[in-house]
Amino acid sequence: MGKTIIQKIFEHHSNQPAQTGTIIDVTIDTRVARDFGGANVVKNLQQHNLSIHDATKTFFTFDCNPGGCDQKYAANQHICRLFAREHNITIFDINDGIGTHLAIDQNFIQPGGIFVSTDSHANILGAIGAFGQGMGDIDIAHTFAYGKTWFKVPPTIKITLIGTPKTHTTPKDIVLKIARELGANGLLGYAAELYGTYIDTLDLSGRITIASMATEMGAIIMLFPPNQSIIDYYRNRYNQTITPVYADHDATYTQELAISIQDLPPQISRPGHPEDVVDVTAVEGTLVDSGFIGSCTNGRLEDLRAAARILKGKKIAPGRILKIVPATDAIWKASLEEGLITIFKEAGALIGSAGCAGCAAGQIGQTGQGEIAISTGNRNFHGKQGKGDIYLSSPETVAASLIAGYISSVTSIPKHAKPVQKKNYSTDKTSHKTAKYKTPTLILTGRAWVIAKDNIDTDMIYHNRYLSITTLEEMGQYTFDNLKGYENFAKNVKPGDIIVVGKNFGCGSSRQHAVDCFKSLGVSAIIAESFGAIYERNAINSAMPILTTDAITTKIKPYDVLQIDLTTATIKNKTNNTIIQANSFSIVQQEIYLRGGLLEG
């Protein structure tokens, strides 16, 4: 029986067969901690007296807050610098750019390799046919110390794109179409392989754009079989002949999907949900206040060239702002040499230092209350990039819209921009409390907090503006303060309470904080229909009891008293005397839970 790409990559890095659903130990080629997660990685290593397995394969990248403009970010960066000096670890510092792009452009990961990072978009590496996974700080600390970690071999879905899109349709439009078809959790827990004539023609930049949004569909990774463009990239740039990993012709897939892109026009994602996608024409005319071009999804040189072609000789609409941030410093310099920076500045844009920009609270790209923005990022969750509403689109659509002053397609840019619109804004203040985390036991009893929602992302659980916090006791007060209707959760929850939620809980970022905030409050367990892939790992590795079972929010009422037996995965509702059977712990989950965490024991 043939094997998929991910099975072959895992087997090349393990002495175990990579059968779907099995858990195996995998050697990691490259392990990275970013600036917001790095200090916690260092803390975990120091607290457990762990050393570095191989400093030549270990890196720090400061891409979230290149300026260190927040005191805690600055302190965290300095902690990482001191640790790196002591252990001879290379740092890609504040002037270098996005870590996942540097991994490719600096050649510290190749097709067929395995890369892990505290970046939830580490699966960008699927663009070159490598495996990348975002992880929390406990996971990364383990890989720093041992050079390996466990993985559950995911099933693979084969996706074939059929047809040819319209002339002005870009890779960003294609991935938005895929998200539209599959939804926020359509690939939850799966690897995907992408095929089709369109895929075969894509260069590295286009592949990165599509691979970057795998996380927004719940995927472990989207893998692209390397084409001649990727092979030539390594030959021309590094004088290196790569050996791509391809699936066997008789590989077994869980599902095979065909998605039509025939005559597909430019697409756009409406605020709040990356998968809420429509044709650009459906929202054309919507006034915008600002635009952003950059991020790990669309910060490549090809993206900036495309924007420059539209902005050349034109001005941004009066009263609007356009922020442009290249993905890496090398791309910044190339943009300068090619005259792109001059075009952007003459159009009235603000050019930022290389980095993540709009996706991170510490760099340009944030929005104010009531602001309407159009962005090339991969996420537009409410609160993710400030208080505004964010549309997601291609660089071309962003550029056209900022010239027009409203959402516009490239072919419909007007001669005269629309004037700005006056808006009101307000601020809110909240107060919180924290509580101590209770040591786990095998029998848990507590009140149920039933939140009958799917796709609750990590920004709703624990917003990125608090990511610089490294003390567990401080985290709890911010839990759910970005989830509408649950802003006062931290004030009302009691130690021992149990969270009951729907599908894909914890989708989005790789932040460990979204687990630790519950530990800070003393929440004893989380029961869901399913969890985001990275969130599931983070919870398991920090010994936070999580269970899955179908339709759980329909079986339990708010404040029912539940008793969970972790040895049998049974949930007894003591309020109505019913029993619910959940899925049992895996062997790895049991082992980690019983010893109190991945780094314990």
Question: Residue 116 is which amino acid?
Answer: V
Tokens 């005559």 belong to: 263
Phi and psi at 395, nearest 5°, equal -55, -35
DSSP code, position 287: B
- Residues 180 and 186: their CA atoms lie apart, in Å, by 10
- Residues 508 and 217: their CA atoms lie apart, in Å, by 9
- Evaluate if residue 245 carries a pLDDT over 70: yes
- In 153-289, alpha helices (H): 171-182, 197-201, 204-212, 228-238, 280-283
- Residues 57 and 99: their CA atoms lie apart, in Å, by 14
Could you give the maximum distance between any two Cα atoms of the chain, in Å? Answer: 72
Output the CATH code of domain 443-594. Answer: 3.20.19.10
pLDDT bucket at 438, cuts 50 / 70 / 90? very low
- Evaluate if residue 385 carries a pLDDT over 60: yes
Where do the domains of the chain lie?
Answer: 5-260, 278-412, 443-594
- Evaluate if residue 119 carries a pLDDT over 80: yes
- Asked, colleague to colleague, whether 278-412 and 443-594 share their fold, the answer is no
Q: Which CATH class is domain 5-260?
A: alpha beta
pLDDT digits (tens, 9 = 90+) for 153-195: 999 999 999 999 999 999 999 999 999 999 999 999 999 999 9
- Work out the number of other CB atoms within 10 angstroms of the CB of residue 220: 28
Element (H, E) at 384: none
Write down the pLDDT at residue 109: 95
Write down the pLDDT at residue 470: 85
Rg of the Cα trace of the chain? 23
Percent of the chain exceeding pLDDT 90 equals: 84
Write down the pLDDT at residue 440: 60
Write down the pLDDT at residue 71: 67
- Evaluate if residue 544 carries a pLDDT over 90: yes
List, in sequence order, every residue forming a beta bridge with 526; answer none if it has no partner: 499, 546
pLDDT digits (tens, 9 = 90+) for 548-599: 999 999 999 999 999 999 999 999 999 999 999 999 999 999 999 999 999 9
**What integer is the mean pLDDT of 457-479?**
91
**What integer is the mean pLDDT of 372-376?**
94
Least confident of 11-15, 426-430, 541-545: 426-430
The distance from CA 122 to its chain's CA centroid, rounded to whole angstroms, is 8
Write down the pLDDT at residue 384: 77
User: In the sheet where 443-451 sits, what is the strand order?
Assistant: 546-548, 525-528, 498-501, 443-451, 561-565, 570-573, 578-581
Contact 273, 183 (CB under 8 A): no
Angle at the Cα of 199 (from 195 to 200), degrees rounded to 5? 95
Q: What is the mean pLDDT of the chain?
A: 92
pLDDT digits (tens, 9 = 90+) for 187-237: 999 999 999 999 999 999 999 999 999 999 999 999 999 999 999 999 999
- Evaluate if residue 432 carries a pLDDT over 50: no
**What integer is the mean pLDDT of 433-449?**
71
Write down the pLDDT at residue 436: 42
pLDDT digits (tens, 9 = 90+) for 5-30: 999 999 999 989 999 999 999 999 99
**What integer is the mean pLDDT of 382-398?**
90
Q: Which of 453, 513, 444 is nearest to 479 (CA)?
A: 513
Write down the pLDDT at residue 361: 56
Element (H, E) at 160: strand 156-162
> In 3-state terms, what secondary structure has residue 320?
coil
278-412 CATH fold: Aconitase; domain 3 (3.30.499)
- Residues 531 and 507: their CA atoms lie apart, in Å, by 7
Write down the pLDDT at residue 44: 95
Write down the pLDDT at residue 70: 63
- Residues 174 and 49: their CA atoms lie apart, in Å, by 47
